[in-house]
Chain A
Amino acid sequence: MEPSAGTPQSATRPSERDAESRAGTGADQLQLVTFDVADEEFAVDILAVREINRMMTLTRVPQSPPEVEGVINLRGKIIPVLDLRRRFGMPAGERTERSRIIVVEVNGRVLGFIVDGVHEVLRISGDIVEPAPAMVCSIDSEFIEGVGKLNDRLIILLNLGKLFGADTPGADSRLAAA
């Protein structure tokens, strides 16, 4: 639950304090973990996030769907890890010092996904979130829960259920790729 492990800069961002003060008055608050993938900023509900880890050695699983990078040992439990770029249909990115594995629980299933870097924990008011416009970014709008506008930032809230939940990872993208 502690994102600072991977985000030394999080506490100092001015936008966070802005957001917090504003969120304090809002009736419908959201608490989000934000991260970036391919230079765009995304967020997921913090309640779904189990933990955030630095990159670790992945064990490849033969003949698994392309976006499944492999499996890791999460304190004795073996969980699959997906590359979010591949899940969005982009080419795989470089792994850097900033790369993180965000471990989430979706519909009772624990899995991890790789992002380019984690920013911060953000409180925002629900009313600044708007439904996704058709062409807001490079990913399928089906995966988008909404878009939050915060000062000059545009934060894309992901729908984890759509992204990983309904089927096992990649069942549909596999069809699309075929």
Chain B
Amino acid sequence: MSPFDPEILNDFLTESSELLERMEGDLVALESAPGDPALINQVFRALHTIKGSASFLALAPLVAVSHAAEGALNAARSGLAAIDRAAMDLLLQATDVVKLHMGQLRAGAALTEPDPRLVASLERIANGTAGAAAPATPRERAAPGEAELALPPGKADLLEFLASDLETSLQSMGAALRAGGSDPAFAETCDALARAVDFFECDPLTRTALCLSRVANALSSLDADARSQILPRALALTDLLGLQAGALKRRRLLQLPTDAVVARLDALLQGEPVPDGARVASDAGTDAVLAADAGVADDEPTATTDTPAPPSAAPGATTPSGGAPAAAEQTIRVDVSRLEQLMNLVGELVLQKNRIAALSRRAAQGVEPDLAEAMALAAGSLDRVTADIQLAVMRARMQPLEKLFGRYPRLIRDLAHKTGKQIALVIEGGDTEVDKSVIDELADPLVHLLRNSADHGLESAEERRRAGKHPTGRIRLVASQHADHVRIQVIDDGRGLDRARIQAKAVERGLVAEAHAAQLSDAEVFQFIFLPGFSTVDRVSDLSGRGVGMDVVRTNIQKIKGDIALGSDPGQGTSISITIPLTVAILPAMLVDVAGEIYAIPLSNVTEIVKPEPDHLFTVGRRPVLRLRESVLPLADGMDLFGVARERRAACPFAVVLTSNQQHVGLLVSRPIGQQEIVIKPLDAMDKKNPAAKGPISGATVRDDGGVSLIVDVPELLRRAQAGPPPRAA
């Protein structure tokens, strides 16, 4: 489809997709803050970048639609078209088309032409203002020569926008200069301006802007006398550029007498004094400056011979200590697979580190104390360095949740329009960082949860008014970081879950006995929602999804070793919290011995380890339970769960209390061994044709002694413990 290097295309896709995501968020934000110039500018720039790259890649349909949308935004920017609901719909549709194009490019398919009606509508918004044109420059100066500005067609249509951009920067520069030019932002504005005017392909203009940028960067290192001569001249230049900007809007290029001033300024920056005849008062106007410097070229020689240049001013002045341009190079794109490889290597490193630590402990007995100490020391620092590397690599893979959250305002907006409800989405903690794989896995579950909240959790405006609530329903999407995990919550202030109905349904489906059901806690009742088919067969709960049950959400969350919990207050709303460990490939685990076999249990699931007294063990309905303080805990025998052969059975006096999804179980083990950081390895010993044959095992790891331990799948173990002892072991 495109004759371009696939790598270039890929870069374009990556960059544009990012821009597009941010842009969508900005557009929705713009709807609630209509006419916010910062937002409009941001959207415009994003769109412009996409368009620019697309035209470079000759992707005509993509250029057409982004061009149309850009036109509409441009009209909005000059305040001559309002971004109302209809306009916003069009703009969002345009982003949808761009997204579609991205997908087609990714798939190597041909781009579909945008709907001509969409383009036409966008153009109407743009044209509504075109006639009104730009207001004429307020102070027309007589006579400087004027010429037609010749620009390639790709640039011509951007002229007006960039010209007014220019005016804005010039205004702020003027203000900064009048204030003495010490504002640090001033230099930055000048640098930006210098880059911006490059666009017009007009040498005198570029020279002037570059000169201003040099002035801005050198100003602070010059003495007061030089400054008093520079400031009025710089101000004069901005003034002249302002005129030029006005002319540019009309596609005219003014022949401005700036060269002399530029030359004088450069001389000043070099530390050359101004000849007496050319000195200007610090409040001199533009005309005075022009008059003073008119003959600059002539008196140059005499000026330089008079006095030696003061040494102080020189070196820093000519080379603008370029801060701003370098800043753009602070990040690089790295292929995810490379980071993954690095992560795997770090995993190996952690394993080897564990081994070294274990070996040095073992060796310590047989060698002289000095050597033993040195070994322990080395093992210790290896441990520290490894931990640092691990952290650094993990952080390289981390991305702010913002990236993900940015998609949701659009979703909520569309849902609000579709359901006719008034919904406000509040996002908090978007800067919380999680592993990239987590971002990928979270995207869909969060869509389901938000959709559920908007669709079923929140009431209509009318209903809310009757209930004495604010007519606008609020959904809060909150991310926060806690020690070693991240919590993401979806909280709505809707009607909440109906416990009675869920309970009735659970009894009806035979999931729980009626008498027992009444004793369950709210949290336990709400857990039924997560059962497959529970929410979709009959719309018992107000949380039922559109064919996608909460069980799928839970499965996805568990895939990244996360946990999901649900809380609800009738009439007050529902909150769902997802807890995710910060890293998924390496995790701290508790090693336990079950009849001579060593298993690893993710530490995040271990609540405590107890050695129960015999009189705390009971049987309820043929199931063993443990009384632990105030609560009663179901017990699972590790030897049954892991199918330990009869002849190898041993005493299991310890109970490890495991928690997942607000449910608890006590796992009986022979003895706890200790804590170790483990690296999760895939386990290929499962019978894929018969998944039920899989034990409650989620993977394997290599212990510090080189042996293999299996990692206990706690949610699965809980499921089995509730279903009763496995038939094989019975």
| Interface stretch (choices A84-92, A114-122, A141-149, A166-174) | A166-174
Q: Does A65 contact B (CB under 8 A)?
A: yes
Whether the pair A168, B597 counts as a contact (CB closer than 8 A) is no
Encode B131-144 as 1/0 by CB contact (under 8 A) with A.
00000000000000
* A57-B707, A59-B707 known; A71+B702 contact, CB < 8 A: no
**Is there contact, CB below 8 Å, between B693 and A61?**
no
Rounded to whole angstroms, the CA-CA distance of A168 and B686 in the bound complex is 7
Size of B's binding interface in residues, CB under 8 A: 30
How many chain A residues touch B (CB < 8 A): the figure is: 26
Nearest-neighbour CB distance to chain A for B354, whole angstroms, equals 12
Taking a contact as CB atoms under 8 Å apart, the answer to whether A71 and B685 are in contact is: yes
Q: Shortest CB–CB separation between residue A23 and chain B, in angstroms?
A: 35
Q: Which residue of B lies closest to A109 (CB)?
A: B684
| Interface-centre pick from B686, B697, B709 (highest chain A CB count, 10 A) | B686
Contacts of B726 in A (CB 8 A): 63
Q: For residue B683, which residues in chain A have a CB less than 8 angstroms away from its CB?
A: 61, 71, 78
* Contact flag A63-B694 (CB < 8 Å), given A78-B684, A171-B687, A174-B687: yes
Give the residue of B684, B688, B709 whose beta carbon is less than 8 angstroms from that of A59. Answer: B709
| A76→B695 contact, CB < 8 A | no
Closest A residue to B681 using CB positions: A78
Q: Which residue of A lies closest to B692 (CB)?
A: A63
Nearest residue in B to A167 (C-beta to C-beta)?
A: B689
- Chain B nearest CB from A25 CB (Å) reads 42
Residue with the greatest number of chain B CB neighbours at <10 A, chosen from A60, A63, A65, A79: A63
CB distance from B409 to the nearest CB of A (A): 44
User: Can you list, as one digit per residue, whether each of A131-164 has a CB less than 8 Å from chain B (1) or not (0)?
Assistant: 0000000000000000000000000000000000
| 10 cross-chain CB contacts under 8 A | A59-B597, A59-B700, A61-B695, A71-B700, A73-B707, A76-B351, A78-B682, A79-B684, A169-B685, A170-B687
Instruction: State whether B693 touches A64 (Cβ < 8 A).
Output: yes
- What A residues does B684 contact at CB under 8 A? 71, 78-80, 109, 111, 168
Q: Which residues in window 58-72 of A have CB below 8 A to B? A: 59-65, 68, 70-72
Shortest CB distance A79–B (Å): 7
The docked-state distance in angstroms from the alpha carbon of A169 to that of B695 is: 16
Residue B54, interface by CB 8 Å: no
Are the C-beta atoms of B702 and A78 separated by less than 8 Å?
Answer: yes
Q: Contacts of A80 on B, CB cut-off 8 Å?
A: 684-685
Q: How far is the CA of A62 from the CA of B685 in the complex (A)?
A: 10
The smallest C-beta distance from B313 to any residue of chain A, in angstroms, reads 63
Complex CA gap A170/B688 in Å reads 10
Chain A residues, Cβ within 8 Å of B696? 62
Residue of B nearest to A59 (CB): B708
Tell me if A13 counts as interface (CB < 8 A to partner B).
Answer: no
Q: Are A76 and B687 in contact (CB under 8 A)?
A: no
B643 at the interface (CB under 8 A from A): yes
